[in-house]
Amino acid sequence: MRTRLAALASLLWALHYCAHCRGWAGWALDLGVVVAASLLWLGRSRAEFLLGSAGLIFAAAIRPWAGAGFVWVNAGYVLAAVYAAPRVAQALSRTRPARSLPRPAAIAGAVAVFAALAHEARPAWLMARPDLRRAALDGLAPTFPVKDPKTLTPAAARLRRHVVALAREIGERSVYSPKAQEKTKDYLVARLREAGLDPEVVDFMPERPFDFARTVPFRNVEAVFAAAPGAPKGAWVVGAHYDTAPGTPGADDNASGTAVLLEIAARLKDAPRGREVRVVFFAAEEPPSFGTRDMGSLRYARSLRARGVALHGLVNLEMLGYYNPKPGSQLFPPFLRPFYPDRGEFLGAVSNLRSLGLLRELKAAWPAGSPVPLESVVLPFVFSTVALSDQLNFWGQGDRAVMLSDTSFFRNSRYHQGDDVPDTLDYEKMAAAVEGVVSVLSPRK
């Protein structure tokens, strides 16, 4: 028994090490751990599988808090599990009493569970079949452009100019287009300097091999607003990735978040100061960098920790421009549909459990600046990987972070498609999002 458990632990650690060496980010390792734990749980009648499953969940749960002691804490668990394995096996082998016939309440409960699963079958199927999901959303698409560009307010018109420059004039900004990424970096730096800021370009080279020869580094772009005298410690970080998926112009994903962040930076220049604010444009969020140690947000989060920068929290801006007022235009993961509106007229705020306080702070301050409704969801760590964006790298090292989004492919059928173009965005609502975030960052009275 003890030999089998020790062998299982060695195998799992070897697989974890191999994934780490291949450049997987911490949260991606956690996802693999949860899948392995679920498979082991199927054999929970045997002590080695039960203890192995519990150990994997324990490892994923403590990683953000354990820091450098992660390996030692897990080694301690393995030793304790090996020692206790015979007792656990003995307990599992005890004869269980014969089960009585199911009671009416149990039958009713089973029927209710079956009905709930049947009710959620369609949204689950749409999540598994992107082609069907896009077809369903395309059938409900609003008329474009949402508003005549000539009638936009000045704030909305500035946002549209940013998106057109990024998504139309520059176009695809993926890792396969380093020249376009250089143009994007130059555009961001120029706009920040026009706003009176002194941005810093932070270069980093990939740590893993690519299937193409990249001779230029990735570049994060950062502008820092110093804290007011006597302000609380801990910096706000507001971030957005500026790259695109290969083959896409990326108007909503994520020229919209990038444009909103540019306008936030311009507004903060003359806004009342509170905490330190760091505005960061992340490189390398999209595939093939996603889920690896080459993500710009992972490098940035690590650099903050290495420099000893105290972090209050991250607000990650991920796709902020697509709205749809038609009934049924908003999709959800299974079992969430009854709790949220079915019209795509809101922004979503996504948090993990550790960031719940930050989410509450954001929701309390948001209405003072923006009329756009804000719906929120809190994800336990096991499910946090469904929120696929840069906040994952902050969650992975134990920092607080919240993602703001128009919910991506749960609303926008053009996600990672060639028709993700500027005319599909609602720039007035994007302007309202700028004011909402500025309200969150402003000092509390």
pLDDT tens figures, 199-254? 999 999 888 765 556 678 999 999 999 999 999 999 999 999 999 999 999 999 99
Tell me what pLDDT residue 70 has.
63
Let me know: does 392 contact 289? Beta carbons within 8 Å: no
Q: Give the Cα separation of 322 and 317 in Å (integer).
A: 13
Same domain, 134 and 51: no
Same domain, 46 and 110: no
Same domain, 131 and 176: no
- Whether 385 has a pLDDT exceeding 90, the answer reads no
Count of domains observed in the chain = 3
Same domain, 280 and 355: yes
- Is the pLDDT higher at 95 or at 266? 266
Q: 202: closest CA among 187, 220, 218, 214?
A: 220
Tell me what pLDDT residue 161 has.
98
Question: Is 369 a domain residue?
Answer: yes
Tell me what pLDDT residue 171 has.
97
Tell me what pLDDT residue 27 has.
53
Q: Give the Cα separation of 441 and 389 in Å (integer).
A: 21
Question: Is 177 a domain residue?
Answer: yes
Helix 154-163 to helix 427-441 angle, to the nearest 10 degrees? Answer: 100
Residue-averaged pLDDT of the chain: 86
Same domain, 339 and 194: yes
Q: Give the Cα separation of 300 and 223 in Å (integer).
A: 13
Q: Give the Cα separation of 51 and 269 in Å (integer).
A: 55
Quick check: bond before 288 cis, omega within 30?
Answer: yes
Helix 70-93 to helix 2-21 angle, to the nearest 10 degrees? Answer: 140
Phi and psi for 104 in degrees, rounded to 5?
Answer: -55, -40
Strand partners, 313: 236
- The kind and range of the H/E element at 225 are strand 218-225
Q: Give the Cα separation of 254 and 333 in Å (integer).
A: 22
| Residue 91, C-beta contacts closer than 8 angstroms, at least 6 positions apart | none
- Whether 81 has a pLDDT exceeding 90, the answer reads no
Q: Is the dihedral of CA 91, 77, 38, 15 positive or negative?
A: negative
Q: 276: closest CA among 336, 321, 211, 232?
A: 232
Pairing of strands 218-225, 200-204: antiparallel
| pLDDT, average across residues 36-60 | 76
Amino acid of residue 369: G
Same domain, 73 and 149: no
Let me know: does 405 contact 386? Beta carbons within 8 Å: no
Q: Give the Cα separation of 52 and 437 in Å (integer).
A: 44
Tell me what pLDDT residue 416 has.
94
| Residue 66, C-beta contacts closer than 8 angstroms, at least 6 positions apart | 73
Helix (H, G, I), strand (E, B) or coil at 374: strand
DSSP letters, 265-278, are: HHHHTTSPP-S-EE
Question: Is 14 a domain residue?
Answer: yes
Helix (H, G, I), strand (E, B) or coil at 257: helix
Same domain, 215 and 268: yes
Same domain, 65 and 121: no
- Whether 104 has a pLDDT exceeding 80, the answer reads no
Same domain, 218 and 204: yes
Structural domain that includes position 406: 142-441
Q: Give the Cα separation of 216 and 205 in Å (integer).
A: 8
> pTM, whole model, 2 decimals?
0.80
| Residue 219, C-beta contacts closer than 8 angstroms, at least 6 positions apart | 181, 182, 185, 201, 202, 203, 204, 283
Question: Is 99 a domain residue?
Answer: no
Let me know: does 155 contact 431? Beta carbons within 8 Å: yes
| pLDDT, average across residues 258-266 | 98
- Whether 372 has a pLDDT exceeding 80, the answer reads yes
Question: Is 32 a domain residue?
Answer: yes
- Whether 195 has a pLDDT exceeding 80, the answer reads yes
Same domain, 345 and 416: yes
Tell me the longest C-alpha to C-alpha distance in the chain.
Answer: 78
Same domain, 56 and 201: no
- Whether 95 has a pLDDT exceeding 60, the answer reads no
Same domain, 248 and 294: yes
Q: What is the CATH number of the domain that holds 408?
A: 3.40.630.10
Q: Give the Cα separation of 168 and 79 in Å (integer).
A: 58
Let me know: does 384 contact 395? Beta carbons within 8 Å: yes
Tell me what pLDDT residue 55 has.
76
Let me know: does 35 contact 80? Beta carbons within 8 Å: no
Question: Is 262 a domain residue?
Answer: yes
Q: Quick one: DSSP state of residue 147? A: S
- pLDDT for 295-351, tens place per residue? 999 999 999 999 999 999 999 999 999 999 999 999 887 777 788 999 999 999 999
- Whether 63 has a pLDDT exceeding 90, the answer reads no
Q: Give the Cα separation of 392 and 143 in Å (integer).
A: 34
Q: Residue written as tokens 């450098």?
A: 68
Four-CA torsion 34, 318, 233, 432, nearest 10 degrees: -140
The pLDDT > 70 percentage for the chain reads: 82
pLDDT band at residue 437 using 50, 70 and 90 as cut-offs: very high
Q: Give the Cα separation of 113 and 332 in Å (integer).
A: 19
Q: Give the Cα separation of 8 and 16 in Å (integer).
A: 12
Question: Is 24 a domain residue?
Answer: yes
- Whether 69 has a pLDDT exceeding 60, the answer reads yes
Strand partners, 401: 314
